[in-house]
Amino acid sequence: MNSLAQQGIAALKQGDKIRARQCLREATVKDPGDIQAWLWLSGAVEMDSERAECLQHVLRLEPDNQIATKGLAQLIARGAVSVRSEAKAPAQETPATVLPNPFVDAQPVPKAGAPRATQKAVDKTIFIVKPSLIPVFVGGFLIALIFIGLWLLLMGLFPKGETGSLLRALFTFFVAIYALGMGFQWLVALIRRLFARYTLTSRYLIVKNGVLSRSQKTIPVQRIQNVSLRQGVGDRLFSLGSVMVESAGERGAVRLISLPNCQEYVDKILAAAERT
């Protein structure tokens, strides 16, 4: 790493993006093969299109770079940039000098002297699905029935008179507080499911969760190692299931919960992984 890149990184850490962009751009001009300079420059530029260009340049130099892969995947997932391949090298260059772009479908190498056209990589959407709300509504209904039945039963056990009225009032108060707590938890579970979304494309599995604090996990399908299905008694009753996806570099399995026709989604994920 040259001194200009080091100055740019130091400026970026201090929050001076203008100085960082200037130094890092000069560093990439001086040494176009400096991967660290390109990575830090992607964090210093302001436009998503410029950031995508920096990350794509890193991937042409090092196709397995995980930082660039995840960064570009996030830009693509939120629709900030479109996936396009850059114009390939002139015809007189040999194929060995052309570095592969992992975001463009592999194409046969043309014969010497044949024209080379710019191509587009299409990231096809295979499915977009949300968790079923049936378990939440059924759970809320059962909780309400239990509270009502318990309240009616115990209210009948209290003796009549002033003492019984006081006990009824105290019991009703505590039941109401507990019911409010359970109702709040039920509402949180409902909102979480409303805002959860699972997307599978020909290149990525994208899992979005959260309401106020949003989280997104993007997994390249080529890294998926195992897909399994889990169904409890309640899930079987409503023909639902949870899909468990294990991938390289991830701790634990990613869960796609309460999916209808769950076996269909297992097959689609496995098929997408096999194609890559």
CA angle 249, 255, 261 (to 5 degrees): 130
pLDDT in tens, 199-246: 999 999 999 988 777 788 899 998 999 999 999 888 888 899 999 999
- Decide: 255 and 242 in contact? Cβ < 8 Å: yes
Tally Cβ neighbours within 10 Å of residue 221.
Answer: 22
Cα-trace Rg, the chain: 28
Q: Residue 208: in which H helix or E strand, if any?
A: strand 204-209
Q: Which residue has the tokens 């689609």?
A: 268
pLDDT for position 243: 95
Phi, psi of 125 (to 5 degrees): -85, 125
> What is the reported pTM?
0.51
pLDDT for position 122: 65
- Decide: 237 and 110 in contact? Cβ < 8 Å: no
pLDDT for position 102: 41
pLDDT for position 164: 65
Q: Between the ranges 22-36, 89-103, 166-180, 233-247, where is the mean pLDDT highest?
A: 233-247
3-state secondary structure of 133: coil
Q: What is the mean pLDDT of residues 251-265?
A: 91
**Between residues 66 and 166, which one has the greater pLDDT?**
66
pLDDT in tens, 169-210: 787 788 788 888 888 988 988 998 999 999 999 999 999 988
- Decide: 219 and 203 in contact? Cβ < 8 Å: no
Tokens standing for residue 111: 């014969």
